[in-house]
Structure 1
């Protein structure tokens, strides 16, 4: 995995450099927001880790500008405890956030989860037409190209995590999953105590999927979420 970390705190990047070396992750560290965004434009990266508070260009702006041209997975770092900042970061297109101070091992676990998903999606299959297509009453999902069509028309571009989440729920129609289960099954790591990540992604997906006749993604109060085309 080739990773770009835009973080102005050099002690944080020095600490993570040691962990990345141990995990054999190729990492580039940039301490300025504008410089980091320009580096992203010049090279191909598999994952971006972006601090929100940066000189020259803040992390929210970087995240928004990246999402205009790329669906590369993004994890945002923030020292703020404000729920609004975390939710806004997700609304800007980030796939996940980590609040400082954070455990390097927890961040590594999330990065590895992204890597595992990439390997699974690029693996060869004996019958791509059979394994890469998922069809429901209204939707057709092409796992290979990571596209979703509603009654033959392509949906608005989904972020990598939005695609993973809705694809997982479509593969288990009418089955209710808790937020903890979705974090483990879709994000690929154990539940750390914050459910807002799932809630924000469901909210964004509803805006992209729902029609006047169907909600598709339903909240089961006190339990979790499900995909259901019959309600």
Structure 2
């Protein structure tokens, strides 16, 4: 079954170009040209990934992203001509999984789309040949359900983005290991680390805000100064 993508782009020429290319790559692409139209489509239909421009009429991209994250962890890839660090930090901070600056090649876009969908689905696909694999991973009162792609903290279900879930799963899977920012980026983003720490810093901060009782004194994800991060204790 082909993956379904919601493309939110107000430039109709760019939208048509992306839609045509991704359709050739065997994706089903639904298009929206403003934030309100995209919000209505998202509420009615199920998508495997959202490609989101930031500069949209009616409801802007950041506000739409915040609405999506209120109810869903669907991967969101921002495609925008706004390339400042502030825009990237805000986008990632509001829950985007990746950020791609315009102009970009269709080959790069396709690779990012494939990677985002792969990362989001690998944790929820069950495989009858791996029945002995653990369904959950637990640390203190933090529980990850690898089949349902859900997280509970102190008995409360927490909504995480796909990357936040992957980062948390990484730490819980290797509880005694310290990960550098470069290692986290390479393992989660599956890309070369170019020294930009914003993506890691923003995702760790957002993750702490969701799972820690006191994010300023984290008990689950601890900072190892000068090296990186590790699971608590």
What range is the shorter-chain TM-score in?
Answer: 0.7 to 0.9
Specify which of 209, 224, 229 is matched with residue 228 of structure 2: 224
Question: Are 1:147 and 2:139 counterparts?
Answer: no
Instruction: With the length of structure 2 as denominator, give the TM-score of the two structures.
Output: 0.86
The 3 A distance-change label for structure 1 pair 110 and 181 is farther
The 3 A distance-change label for structure 1 pair 10 and 180 is farther
Return the alpha-carbon distance in structure 2 between the equivalents of residues 70 and 136 of structure 1. 24
**Once the 2 structures are TM-superposed, how far is the Cα of residue 217 of structure 1 from its aligned partner?**
1.5
The 3 A distance-change label for structure 1 pair 75 and 193 is farther
Question: Are 1:65 and 2:92 counterparts?
Answer: no
Q: Could you list the runs of 5+ residues in structure 1 that have no partner in the other structure?
A: none
Q: How many residues align?
A: 228
Specify which of 89, 95, 103 is matched with residue 101 of structure 1: 103
The 3 A distance-change label for structure 1 pair 17 and 194 is farther
**Once the 2 structures are TM-superposed, how far is the Cα of residue 100 of structure 1 from its aligned partner?**
1.8
**Once the 2 structures are TM-superposed, how far is the Cα of residue 155 of structure 1 from its aligned partner?**
4.5
Contact 2:150-2:158 at 8 Å conserved across structures: no
CA shift digits 1:13-48 (9 cap, x unpaired): 233234313321111222222112111112111111
State the superposition RMSD in angstroms.
2.3
More displaced 10-residue stretch of structure 1: 195-204 or 13-22: 13-22
More displaced 10-residue stretch of structure 1: 197-206 or 209-218: 209-218
Query: Where in structure 1 do 4 or more consecutive aligned residues deviate above 6 Å?
Result: none
Return the alpha-carbon distance in structure 2 between the equivalents of residues 109 and 225 of structure 1. 28
**Once the 2 structures are TM-superposed, how far is the Cα of residue 135 of structure 1 from its aligned partner?**
2.4
Match of 2:126 in 1: 123
Return the alpha-carbon distance in structure 2 between the equivalents of residues 84 and 214 of structure 1. 25
Return the alpha-carbon distance in structure 1 between the equivalents of residues 52 and 9 of structure 2. 6
Match of 1:54 in 2: 56
Match of 2:25 in 1: 23
Instruction: With the length of structure 1 as denominator, give the TM-score of the two structures.
Output: 0.86
**Once the 2 structures are TM-superposed, how far is the Cα of residue 59 of structure 1 from its aligned partner?**
0.3
Q: Secondary structure at the match of 1:49?
A: strand
Q: Could you list the runs of 5+ residues in structure 2 that have no partner in the other structure?
A: none
